[in-house]
Structure 1
Amino acid sequence: MEQLLENAFILFGIFAIFNCFLKIMKCLRYFLLTKCWGVSNAFFSSMGEWAVITGATDGIGKAYAHEFAQRGLNIVLISRTKEKLRKVADEIEQATGRKVKTVQVNFIKRDIYEYIEESLRGLEIGILVNNVGILQTPNPCRFLEMTDLDQTINDMIAVNAVSVAKMTQLVLPQMKERQKGLILNISSGVASAPCPLFCLYSSTKVFMERFSRGCQAEYGSKGIIIQCLMPYTVASKMSGVEPGVTTLSAEDYVRKSLDCALLGDRCRGSLVHEILAFVFGKIPQCIIYSDAVQETMVDYVQNCARS
């Protein structure tokens, strides 16, 4: 019996050391790829001639459009507002000289994908950024307290989940045929664990994370990179916050996230958000899920909105 226990402790120790080794190697790889080597512009342009970005007229989507144009790709902007599309397209064309194509659709609707497919026909698409997303309300609230609940459920699933699968369905076949391509799915840090007061939003982002990682397992051997990015707060129109210590500007986040393109099927996209994820992961869920914490968060946001 003593020998059995001794062997068990030895195996446990070996497992613990191996686990620490893997974490150290992951950190080392992160720093080497993001701080020392980075990912060259040639890597992105080698994927194909065009980058397609959904939700491309504000925030992270707009920043990706500008960044990929600067790195040598032509851009397809997909969003719902014609005036914003034209404005962003003009900005990119004047700043970079790249070709820009616009596709005006509302991702709340389910009958838009034939039109998108026709608009993309004939383009060599090397990169897809599934960025479009909606939040139930700028303020945290419980599920039954959301405004127009039935419509909100349908809209959020259509935009945050269905769009990811359908856009991947449209673009992935040609990537598979050419044996190369990059798909970036912009999820959220709140997909890491159940998120009270944003339960529907976080659940749709969980779908994005699981779908991304599953597709990467299926198609990674075909030369295709499918990565789920899970940022915490980024300064944008949707988040309604300004850049700060832990809140990156959309442009800064996008540049940092592209250096993480070779870091696997799931990534936070920046060091500061990796640290946030580690810290939040150590907070006991019983604290986060308590009524006291939820009420405090709601009151804090409401007071900020009034001030």
Structure 2
Amino acid sequence: MTDTLASAALPAAPDLAAAVSAWLRHLAAERKMSAHTIDAYGRDARQFLAFLAERCGAPPSISGFVHCAPGDLRAFLARRRAEGIDGRSLQRALSALRSLARAIARDTDETASALGAIRAPKSARRLPRPLNPSDARAVTTTGPRAGEAREQWVLARDAAVLALCYGAGLRISEALGLKRADAPIGAVEAVTVIGKGKKMRSAPVIAPVRKAIKDYLALCPYTLKPDGPLFVGAKGGPLSPRIVQLAMERMRGALGLPDSATPHALRHSFATHLLARGGDLRTIQDLLGHASLSTTQVYTGVDSARLLAAYKSAHPRA
């Protein structure tokens, strides 16, 4: 998010553009929201303001925004739905507009009553799509990519990052945010990561994952500074998340996995496999860094769905 996005690119009058800019800065500095969330909120606000400008014939001001009618909001959501936007994204857009309205109300005492009159669109609850244990283990090794014309240290690096996603339940951003001094090797059996909302947690790292990291460090051609990134790119700079995603795409091709097999699916696999082996939800919540237990409870649906599928395929009377 940038001030250019928040002001110059917005189809809004100067007072509303300035309010949007201040709101996005507040989300970053005070609310500690992730850059991805702030970017998404900024896009949602820009799309709605563009819709209002088209509907009203002029860029909306603060007054135009807070006094928009419920019909304006319903028409906006209907258009987005017709464009193929799913319910979850529409819920986020409405949440973004309500957040903006609250920020404006704090500064101006202008209340957008229409936003309180609109119900959030419903969305189908999507279950995470984890890998099975054998596939999850396979993508955390270099074996499936042995035939690629790539340096061995690069293959070892990619395997180590993916091993952290599956073996410790880390997000890509959390794995790539680790410093060299934080490497879980030797007697170090855990890493401290900062997740969403700047929430800090300690993640245990099992022996196979520590070995994958040790193997990568032994092969890495660069001298890594203690306060520098643990995982580096081909030229020695910080490793891009996109490189890890591309590595996972190659794994999918080598192992015949579906498109749902992403680095983040390894985090889902971590939680699902722990639950299937008797892990309790509270512990899994702490390991994943979820703020709410309800977020973690989605994995009970995954486990139940698998049990039901196995029952239907195997029971004579199913």
Bigger Rg, which one: 2
TM-score normalised by the chain length of structure 1: 0.25
Higher strand fraction (1 or 2): 1
Structure 2 length normalisation: TM-score?
Answer: 0.24
